Structure 1
Amino acid sequence: MSKVRFGLIGIGNMGKGHTNYFAKNEVAGGELTAIVDTNPERLEWVRQQYGDRFQLFDNLDSFFASQAFDAVLICTPHYDHPDLAIAAFEHGYHVLVEKPAGVYTKKVREMNEAAARSGKAFGIMYNQRTNPLYQKLRDLVSSGELGEIRRTNWIITNWYRSQSYYDSGGWRATWAGEGGGVLLNQDPHQLDLWQWTIGMMPKRVRAFCHFGKYRNIEVEDDVTAYVEYENGATGLFVTTTGEAPGTNRFEVSGDRGKIVIEDGKLTFWRLRVPESEFNRDFKGGFGAPECWKCEIPVGSSEGSQHKGITQNFVDHILHGTPLLAPGEEGIKGLTLSNAMHLSTWTDNWVDLPIDEDLYYEKLQERIRNSSYKKETRKLDHMDVSGTH
């Protein structure tokens, strides 16, 4: 294979963005050849913008049967990601799926199992993994420069959304339409980076989600979660769509100092000797380890973002390059958001791995009472219109 041909499922905002960089030939060795969407107006938009450059389909049966591509890029509503990925694997295609991996881990686990059976490439659009800030943090942690992790704190409250935003689509901010609020719509990248940069998941979670606190919506728009790790470290995750101005500050403390990512900068308060060593040897009563404030250079770029993940996916298929964002890892960030929901719903601690059957049961209760009534559809009649 000298080139990877892509078939795009869903031509909403995200689908249009992917189409744009493919149309500009910005992915070496990658080519968009087909698009499927059940909304005829969106297919007409493609015709107006790109003429007959792509094969267009209005149903999945014809799309999958066409063999007009080697890999699919899924850009549909959250609930449909796993089913579409499973179908693509069963038809012999590689799969690159937009975030989040799905709405609940029970279904995402089925998707991961289908990927393993297929032997095909599987990636997820965690484009923030291309950001040099988070890549550098991951490097400093994994190399031991920060020492053993002791605490993580992420305040991510710059997601301001007005009521008019939520009113723009009946599916928005509903249990049946989106399957969650700020955790599932705005925060999947941060929940992924939270565990990816430090290289570990919590062992248990206690969360307090507020549903419709600031807006007239069904789902969470304000969350405070406390987590504990196997090594004794603790963490805090605070997020909302109802505050202005907001904050985006990620702080990781270790035995050798503290790293903060904020305002596009990475600052390392580095201890000259590890805190544990200083504490062992110091006999002077009051005192603290000598600390150096280091501005770590990471460049001004935010990384190659979406097309960078797509390029990496193509390079993986053509040249065996390791995946920056393996699709199987999508379940990790989703586990964190599912655990936060479940902890709130049960008013209790949630151990990881979560009770997936209990989460599914609790979610179904909310879907049944949702203002958005989503029909149960067979795959060949699924709404594969784009979203976001």
Structure 2
Amino acid sequence: MKKVRYGIIGLGNMGRAHALDLIHEVKGAELAAVCDTSPERLEWAAEHLPDTVLRFSTPAQLFASKSIDAVLISTPHYDHPPLAIEALKHGYHVLIEKPAGVYTKAVQEMNEAAAQSGRKFGIMYNQRSNPLYQKLRELIQSGELGEIRRTNWIITDWYRSQSYYNSGGWRATWAGEGGGVLLNQDPHQLDLWQWTTGMMPKRVRAFCQFGKYRNIEVEDDVTAYVEYENGATGLFITTTGEAPGTNRFEINGDNGKIVVENGKLTFWRLRIPEPKFNAEFAEGFGRPECWKCEIPVPEGGGEQHKGILRNFTNAILHDEPLLAPGEEGIRGLTLSNAMYLSAWTDNWVELPIDSDLFHEKLMERVESSTFRKEAVEQRTFDVKGTH
């Protein structure tokens, strides 16, 4: 195979951006086909994409065409797992947009299908290509920070106005999106939280405010506390209703503290690890000597979406290791599912979560969602050929 022939399902904002990147920016990739249930979006494809790009109105038609090698799924969240499973069954490599899905039960089925397929499976976690977070992961995984004691991420710069939510009836609804700030805005941070530290919590206690700042049915304000197996603790605070917002990630370990903020990486490095200092210091008041180290990181955010597309293409052509394996999408989703479940049950949630209980609680909210079930059925792709 000299080139990977891609087919994109879903021509919303991200699908269109991916289409143009595949045409102009990704060596070894070829945009062979697009698929959308919307005639207007297929008209956009006819106007803006080369005549050689095939256009399909259903995934079933795309899958049956055998005109592609890989499928890029850029549809509403609920559709990611069923479309990925069907594409894998047809023998295609699959790259999905984030989040992996809405609930872990469906995502686990998708992961199992991928494991049995023998095909490449990736997820569009483009922030993993950001040198800032790559360097943070390197520092932690190498042991420079020592054993982690605490993680704190304040990510409150996701400001969204009421007009944003009013722009689509599916927005910020349980039936349309499956969640709010945790599922729409925060999937990258939830992924990076566990990817950079290499740690998943053992239990979660979260407090979600639903429609606190905007007239919506899903959460727009969250404070979550987590505990890790090694005794470390963590805090995750997020909202779409504050201005100005903050994006600050702190990780404290035996050897100091790392702060990620404003595109900079600062390592407050202890000359003597805190446990050693504490064991040897006998003068009462005092603290370890600390050096403020500005860690050099290349400017810019890295290759982002293009980087994931290039990596996924090279994985197919040259067996390059995936930067964002699709199977890892369940980790960030597990964190958001656990936060919802904790808020809904007003209790701690142990990991791994009870996926059946979560699905039951979610469906209760879908049934009473302001986004009508008929609209969901009309919007959702049906891999059997209707929509």
TM-score in terms of structure 2 length: 0.97
Counterpart for residue 7 of structure 1? 7
1:59 counterpart letter in structure 2: T
Counterpart for residue 177 of structure 1? 176
Counterpart for residue 188 of structure 1? 187
**Alpha-carbon distance, 1:51 to partner:** 4.4
Deviations 1:58-108 (A, max 9, x none): 112211011111000000000000000000001000000000000000000
User: For 1:237-386, what aligned pairs fall within 5 Å after superposition?
Assistant: 237-375=236-374, 376=377, 378-381=382-385, 383=387
Distance 1:247 1:20 in 2: 32
1:95 counterpart letter in structure 2: V
Counterpart for residue 104 of structure 1? 103
2:250 counterpart letter in structure 1: E
Counterpart for residue 113 of structure 2? 114
Counterpart for residue 226 of structure 1? 225
Task: Kindly tell me the number of residue pairs found equivalent between the two proteins.
Answer: 382
Q: Does the 8 A contact of 2:61 with 2:385 survive in 1?
A: no
Distance 2:84 2:173 in 1: 23
**Alpha-carbon distance, 1:365 to partner:** 0.3
**Alpha-carbon distance, 1:2 to partner:** 1.4
1:366 counterpart letter in structure 2: R
**Alpha-carbon distance, 1:37 to partner:** 0.5
**Alpha-carbon distance, 1:284 to partner:** 0.6
Deviations 1:38-57 (A, max 9, x none): 10001101111124131111
2:154 counterpart letter in structure 1: I
Distance 1:348 1:382 in 2: 41
Distance 1:76 1:237 in 2: 27
TM-score in terms of structure 1 length: 0.97
**Unmatched runs of 5 consecutive residues or more in structure 2:** none
Q: Does the 8 A contact of 2:58 with 2:383 survive in 1?
A: no
2:356 counterpart letter in structure 1: D
1:162 aligned onto 2:161: yes
User: For 1:84-95, what aligned pairs fall within 5 Å after superposition?
Assistant: 84-95=83-94
Q: Does the 8 A contact of 2:208 with 2:343 survive in 1?
A: yes
Deviates more, 1:310-319 or 1:163-172: 310-319
Distance 1:372 1:2 in 2: 45
Deviations 1:235-283 (A, max 9, x none): 0000000000000000000000000000000000000010000000000
**Alpha-carbon distance, 1:381 to partner:** 4.6
**Alpha-carbon distance, 1:379 to partner:** 2.7
Q: SS of 1:258's equivalent?
A: strand
**Unmatched runs of 5 consecutive residues or more in structure 1:** 384-388
1:15 counterpart letter in structure 2: G
Q: SS of 1:379's equivalent?
A: coil
**Alpha-carbon distance, 1:382 to partner:** 5.5
Distance 2:180 2:333 in 1: 13
Distance 2:274 2:310 in 1: 42
Q: SS of 2:133's equivalent?
A: helix
Identify which of structures 1 and 2 has the higher relative contact order when contacts are C-alpha pairs closer than 8 Å and 6+ apart.
1
1:9 counterpart letter in structure 2: I
Distance 1:153 1:197 in 2: 13
1:89 counterpart letter in structure 2: L
**Alpha-carbon distance, 1:374 to partner:** 3.1
Identity across the alignment (%): 73
Deviations 1:307-352 (A, max 9, x none): 1001101111111111000000000000000000000000000000
